[in-house]
Amino acid sequence: MNFLGLLARNRLALLGLVVVLMITVLALLTPLLPLADPDVTNTANRFKRPFEDGAILGTDHLGRDLLSRLFWGSRLSLAVGFASALVAATIGATIGIIAGFHGGWTDNVIMRGVDMLMAFPYILLALAIVAALGPGLMNALIAVAAVNIPFFARNIRGVTVGIAHREFVDAARLSGMGNTRIILTEVLPNVIPVIIIAMSTTVGWMILETAGLSFLGLGSQPPQADLGSMLGEARSALITNPHTSVVPGAMILIIVISINLLGDGIRDALDPRLKSGALSRPMPRTLVRRGEPSAGKGSSALLALSGLETQFHANSRVYRAVSGVDLVVRPGECVGIIGESGSGKSVTALSVMGLVASPPGVITAGSAHFSGQDLIGAEYGTLRRLRGDRVAYVFQDPLSTLHPLYTVGEQLVEAVRVHHPMPKVRAREHAVGLLHSVRFPNAKERFDSYPHELSGGMRQRVGIAMALANDPDLIIADEPTTALDVTVQARILTLLRELQRERGLAIIFITHDFGVIAQLCDRVAVMYAGRIVEEGPTDAILKSPAHPYTARLMACVPELGQERRRLTAIPGLPPVLDDLPDGCAFAERCHRATDACRVGNIALAGLATERVVRCIDPEFRAAGTA
Ligand code: ADP
Ligand code: MG
């Protein structure tokens, strides 16, 4: 969704935008409007009430037309407020970027100077500057800008420090760019949203400060009108002729409120984290919008997915991430799901427990029966009780799933106690036992380590221990070894295999590596573009893959000791999910494809015992079939 669209969703911000635009347009057009001269005094006409003798807003103590003075005054106040915001932002951001980017003593010297400025109460500082430069609107502008520079400098420095050590800045440096170019092309584009946000939330404040200085007689000088000086002059007639103060006061109120509403809206709309979620928090379970749920099949199954369809509805487009997946997992069985990145493996796995983020995720069809109970559309309470208890997940990167501020022990204890309240001491014993069971060396001593103190393999062992915490029936492991190196991966796989045997666990193991499937899984389902294209016992599929996609995936795996074999990458790219082709989604990349592959819906067809394939011309046919 684009920036304006997001802004428009926020009603208050939209209102602010409309008011600010209206006032700005009026201010720009003021010289063209048929207004009385704002500075002509006529003491005979002083203190006219609104609508008296054609003066719409009345007149002030010198008989000057208030409507005209209001227009000219708003024009001046807006101009000075925006100008000082612009000056403060430019100078402050420059200082902040230089300090943050260079670091070291440059940073120290600059930021200590900024700290000194910040140590003065801002209004005293502004008064001192005006006192030194002399009263006048220009000097008020300089004073307001100057006292706001430290705010921008601090803000932008913090952001820049974070960016200056990122990989893309290192890459730019390695490619030979100079500092100035890196700042302009790499750092600045990342900082600009922050500058805009800081500006939009402070313009209102600066208009107020300018008005304050004018009110004290240090800003605009008579007879020139700005909102602050109008208020100041009306002070003596506050009781007798309140309209002279109410008019500029109300204007200041309206301007500042609408600018602040707009600023808040801009901040929300520019924040990239809010952009994809469209300003709303994800729901605690995936949205379900399906017609008639299908009945669960296979009473012996622990988990039975049937016709599962999960889509992402974003920007009025529909991305069909999972379109009709059937899969059965029996107790104690390990089922592999394999496919290229983006084929819908994770979304399938997350849909089971309603963990796909909504918005934008929607489950549009199908069912997921776990021990006979349909989980799609189940109450949040039901899902919550099952999550981490009967069904546990292990994710790819344990560093991002473990909380960095708690020790692994505390997190394990929490995982246990969420589902089975027990005294801390017993939960702790149980947690140490869990670490032992995942062959965690020195479990007792490392219990109080933080995640960052452990190696990748150890962290993943903690992840697995956490999944085991409540003795689940099913573990869904989503590429748990992808972030690990090969030897650690082998150890984790051995561990999973042993745990599966010891505890009679069922495992859904998601990976893109056939080598891993071969070591661990009893059965395997091959996914492509959100559908299962082949499924069957691992041995049989490894020996004779039927779908050309399976065959090509297997050809991508290197084998030790076979140096002559050529590795062939699959040519082309997977199809885009918001515009899936008719017929077989793999046809575009398949060497066996014919015109017949590109029409209709190709169903999963039986091939041999327990084997199905979604292909009209499979690579392998069981004896006896044509
Ligand atoms: P993988 O098989 O690599 O695990 P995923 O299941 O994560 O693939 O993703 C399947 C498809 O769904 C991908 O094309 C991905 O772009 C899309 N997708 C995943 N999450 C979202 C999301 N939050 N919004 C939009 N599209 C998504
Ligand atoms: Mg994935």
Distance (Å) from CA 354 to ligand 1 centroid: 15
Tell me if the pTM is above 0.85: no
For the Cβ of 278 lying below 6 angstroms from any atom of ligand 1, the answer is: no
pLDDT value at position 481?
85
- 318 C-beta closer than 6 A to ligand 1: no
User: Residue 345 CA: which ligand is closest?
Assistant: 1
Confidence of residue 626 (pLDDT cuts 50, 70, 90): very low
Judge contact between 224 and 135, C-beta under 8 A: no
Q: For atom 21 of ligand 1, which residue has the closest CA? A: 312
Question: Ligand 1: distance of its center to the CA of 321 in Å?
Answer: 6
Nearest CA to ligand 1 atom 18: 321
Three-state DSSP class for residue 475: strand
Q: Rounded to the nearest whole angstrom, what is the distance from the C-alpha of residue 450 to the centroid of ligand 1?
A: 31
Residue pLDDT, tens place only, 360-412: 889 999 989 998 888 888 888 899 989 988 999 998 877 778 888 999 999 99
- The pLDDT, as a whole number, for residue 294 is 61
Residues belonging to the chain: 626
Whether residue 346 has its Cβ less than 6 Å from ligand 1: yes
Task: Please give the radius of gyration of the chain, using alpha carbons only, rounded to the nearest integer.
Answer: 34
CA 479 to ligand 2 centroid distance, Å: 7
Write the residue with the smallest CA distance to atom 5 of ligand 1. Answer: 344
- Write out the residues surrounding ion ligand 2, Cβ under 5 A: 346
CA distances from 93 to 141, 150, 155, 170, 194 (A): 18, 9, 8, 22, 10
CA of 345 relative to ligand 2 center, distance in Å: 6
Does 423 score more than 90 pLDDT? yes
Q: What is the pLDDT of residue 444?
A: 86
Q: What is the mean pLDDT of residues 606-613?
A: 86
For ligand 1, pick from 346, 356, 511 the residue to mutate: most ligand atoms within 8 Å of CB.
Answer: 346
Q: Which ligand lies nearest to the CA atom of residue 479 in the structure? A: 2
Amino acid residing at 519: Q
Distance CA 416, CA 424 (A): 10
Q: Which of 588, 586, 601, 513 is nearest to 548 (CA)?
A: 586
Average pLDDT, the chain: 87
- Mean pLDDT value across residues 113-136: 88
Strand-pair partners of 304? 328, 369
- Take residue 123 and report the two structure tokens written for it: 């209004």
pLDDT class of 337 with cuts at 50, 70, 90: very high
Render pLDDT for 53-108 as a digit per residue (tens, 0 to 9).
777 888 888 888 889 999 999 999 999 999 999 999 999 999 999 999 998 999 99
How far, in whole angstroms, is CA 575 from its chain's centroid?
25
Asked whether 337 lines ligand 1 (CB < 6 A), one says no
pLDDT (0 to 100) of residue 317: 83
Can you tell me the mean pLDDT for 129-148? 90
Q: Which residue has the tokens 């590596």?
A: 513
Q: Are 474 and 459 spatial neighbours (Cβ–Cβ below 8 Å)?
A: no
Instruction: Write the pLDDT tens digit of every residue in 208-263.
Output: 999 998 998 888 888 888 899 998 888 888 888 888 899 999 999 999 999 999 98
Per-residue pLDDT tens digits for 165-209: 888 998 999 998 889 999 999 899 889 888 988 888 888 889 999
Q: pLDDT band for 472, please (50, 70, 90 cuts).
A: very high
* Position 37 confidence tier, pLDDT thresholds 50, 70, 90: confident
Distance 56 CA to ligand 1 centre (A): 62
Q: What local confidence, expressed as pLDDT, does residue 281 receive? A: 66
Write out pLDDT tens, residues 273-319. 555 554 566 788 888 888 776 665 556 789 999 999 999 987 778 89
CA of 438 to the centre of ligand 2 (A): 24
Q: Which ligand is nearest to the CA of 575?
A: 1
- CA 526, CA 478: separation in Å to the nearest integer? 15
Q: Is the CB of 345 under 6 A from ligand 1?
A: yes
Lowest-confidence segment of 205-209, 425-429, 479-483 by average pLDDT: 479-483
Between the CA of 99 and the centroid of ligand 2 the distance, in Å, is 40
Among protein residues, the one with the nearest Cα to ligand 1's atom 7 is 346
Q: Which ligand is nearest to the CA of 356?
A: 1
3-state SS, residue 607? strand
Nearest CA to ligand 1 atom 25: 312
Top mean-pLDDT range of 52-61, 497-506, 550-559:
497-506
